[in-house]
Chain A
Amino acid sequence: MSHATTTPAAGGPAPGATPRLSSARLPRWTPWVVALGSVAAGCAAGLAAGLSSKVQWGLIAGLLFVVANFALTARVQGRRQARDRLATSLVWASFVLALIPLLSLLWVTVERGLKVLDGYFLSHSMGVIADAETGGGIYHAIVGTLEQVGLATLMAVPIGLLTAVYLVEYGTGKLAKAVTFFVDVMTGIPSIVAGLFIFSFWIMILGFQPSGFAGALALAILMMPVVVRSTEEMLKLVPNELREASLALGVPKWRTILKVVLPTSVGGITTGVMLAVARVAGETAPVLLLVWGNPLINMNPFEQGQSSLPLYVYQQYAAGQSASIDRAWAAALVLIAFVMVLNLAARGVARWKAPKTGR
């Protein structure tokens, strides 16, 4: 950014001073023209050769853009500038390349999801509707997701919060180091492994039946490290002066933490928790192993199978009928909307309740 402005400025006066350097510069609009030209060439080549997939068109265009830019600059401005141009065009190309699938994902989900999504879809369960029939809804899945994620939150947040308090306020020595390390490692546990663990422990050894609660246990395991990590970061932001002022007034340490440290960072902690909720709400694998799904509404997370949004998407997709795939897209749209709203709300909270430092 600042470099973007300084680079031309630094290069600007020099050509005036030494005529040798002022030799031939490409005009600023060159990359855009090259980009346009290569996109056109890519489309033309694709059409001419009858290439079926747009992926190829894009790849041809991107390749042309990078090569043409490099060749042009190398001819006019020399090797060093050409390398610079090459890097710039690669960076831009990688950005565009990455954006395409991501935009396509959002676009397709919205487009195909809206086909079935309506009030009926949101307020009814699948009941006895066969895969190939239209109709049915995701009410049971929404109930399942909310209950499972809610239970997981109830279990994970207290433990996660207290662990973060321990790490920031009390932790020294080997135990704290071990906890820090394993929290980091725990963040990377594949969700299916968490599911297998709960399955071997809760269902195989303790002999419980698959239920929403079993799924919630696995989700809690996935949630804890995220809560710990984000809370820890937030607690570290609380200025020491606040703690010292409170301690100096004779307030015991635990009350200082409860009444001063935590309230100061409550915004950031809320954000972290919401992001963690958003993360586990989309987990399918543990629910697949532990909750098993249920086409009917089951309000009780402690007995019998439940559904959940991600599991519903998977099962409807796996059914393979066009009606069920429509339902899968609609449920995917609801799931994405849920996760995105949580994310945006979390950011809103973070902004609104940003820790007040320096006072």
Chain B
Amino acid sequence: MDMSIHTPPGAGAPHDQGSGTRPAPEGGTPPQQDGAPAPRRTVTHLGDRVFRGLSRGSGITLLVIMAAIAVFLTYRAVGVLAINEGNFLTSFQWNANANPPDFGIAVLVYGTIISSVIAMVIAVPIAVGIALFISHYAPRRLATPLAYVIDLLAAVPSIVYGLWGALVLVPHLGGLYEWFDDFFGWTGVLSYQGGAARSLFTVGILLAIMILPIVTNVSREVFLQVPKMHEEAALALGATRWEVIRMSVLPFGRSGIISASMLGLGRALGETMAVATVLSPSFTIIVSLLDPGGGTFAQNIASKFSEASEQGRDALIASGLVLFVITLLVNGGARAIIARRKEYSGANA
């Protein structure tokens, strides 16, 4: 919107300039002004053209990088996929260094999806709660510093989360998992055999903590944009605070929450180090979420990369390509929702 408003004056600059400078000569220096326009205009055009070209060029560079990522990953992946013995999508093996290689991403797809889903299930409600707390519940004196703190937490490097997760969180979860096992062990999904809690569920909890800040931030911004009139109207009708939130804030913020969650999901899907430090991986699908084992795309790449042969690296690149496409879809979807929402709420903002 902004762009379309001020681009016309820019594009029409020479003309504006002409009409703008005309009154000036009366008081100023006519001889120079008379001579100036013809040579200066060509100079202007050159400088403008160069600068415009440069800035346009960097925009194109970004697109080229994105395309290059896809092209190079595909190029490396295609070669190794052609000689892959196993089915890339369904094989439960990862013997990429063997000759011929035999590998598949089924375990990784499962682990990545399960851990991200657990993270989303835990993080989204809590993040929405915190966002509501900051925007509607906390006293103002508390709300601003809180928003800062959440911002700062988003900046904590993932390796530190990983270190904390492995050395502090994991020992604390054993008891909880035994508890789960007592009550829900019969489901099979939540059974626990004891031992270090380096499982996909732990990874999910850690990822939830990690994506909490970003989901909170985006939702909070949306909640703050809710038109005051809507809320006041609801209050005037005698609604309790929860009813105000349910009737005016949440409906307005729904797409914001969805896109915030998808941004968080994108982060959780691609998280490497936190998973690599916490999970004790195995290349099998384990039904119980609480028992150690499994793996994710990013973790698998990080932990197998240094020992892999060139062929093994190509196989890891192939799995990286899948991860790239998945995150691309998730992030693109989130952005599309945000963009649509912007158009629709433009009048209110």
Q: Mark A residues whose CB is within 8 Å of B.
A: 1, 3-4, 6-7, 10, 14, 51-56, 59, 80-81, 83-84, 86-88, 90-95, 97-98, 101-102, 104-105, 108-109, 158-163, 165-172, 175-176, 178-179, 181-194, 196-197, 199-201, 204-205, 221, 224-225, 228, 236, 240, 243-244, 247-250, 252-255, 257-258, 275, 278-279, 281-285, 288-289, 292, 310, 313-314, 317-318, 325, 328-329, 332, 335-336, 339-340, 343, 347
Contact = CB atoms under 8 A, between A and B. Distances in A.
Contacts, number: 339
Interface residues of B, number: 117
B229 to A, nearest CB: 13
A243 B9 contact: yes
5 contacts: A185-B331, A188-B330, A282-B156, A329-B163, A340-B152
**6 nearest CB pairs, A to B:** A190-B270, A282-B157, A94-B129, A53-B175, A188-B331, A254-B51
Contacts of A178: 63
A234 to B, nearest CB: 12
A166 B166 contact: no
Most chain B CB within a 10 A radius of its CB, from A183, A228, A285: A285
A159 B65 CA distance: 12
Interface stretch (B81-89, B238-246, B282-290): B238-246
Contacts of B148: 347
A3 B301 contact: no
Contacts of B151: 343
Given A91-B132, A108-B164, A285-B302, A159 B48 contact: no
A contact patch SS? helix
Contacts of A204: 76, 310, 313
B2 interface: yes
Interface in B136-171: 136-140, 143, 148, 151-153, 155-164, 166-169
Interface in B231-256: 231, 235-236, 238, 240-245
Interface string B260-282: 00010011011111001100000
A249 B13 CA distance: 10
A201 B129 CA distance: 44
A325 B167 contact: yes
B155 A84 contact: no
Contacts of A258: 51
Interface stretch (B52-60, B103-111, B184-192): B52-60
A94 B126 contact: yes
Interface of B: 2-7, 9-10, 13, 16-17, 20-21, 40, 43-44, 47-48, 50-52, 54-63, 65-66, 68-69, 72-73, 75-76, 125-127, 129-130, 132-133, 136-140, 143, 148, 151-153, 155-164, 166-169, 172-176, 179, 209, 212, 231, 235-236, 238, 240-245, 263, 266-267, 269-273, 276-277, 298, 301-302, 305-306, 310, 313, 316-317, 320, 323-324, 327-328, 330-332, 334-335
A189 B137 contact: no
A333 B240 CA distance: 45
A75 B276 CA distance: 50
B221 to A, nearest CB: 12
Nearest to B74: A200
B62 A179 contact: yes
A162 B55 contact: yes
A336 B48 contact: no
Contacts of A243: 6, 9-10
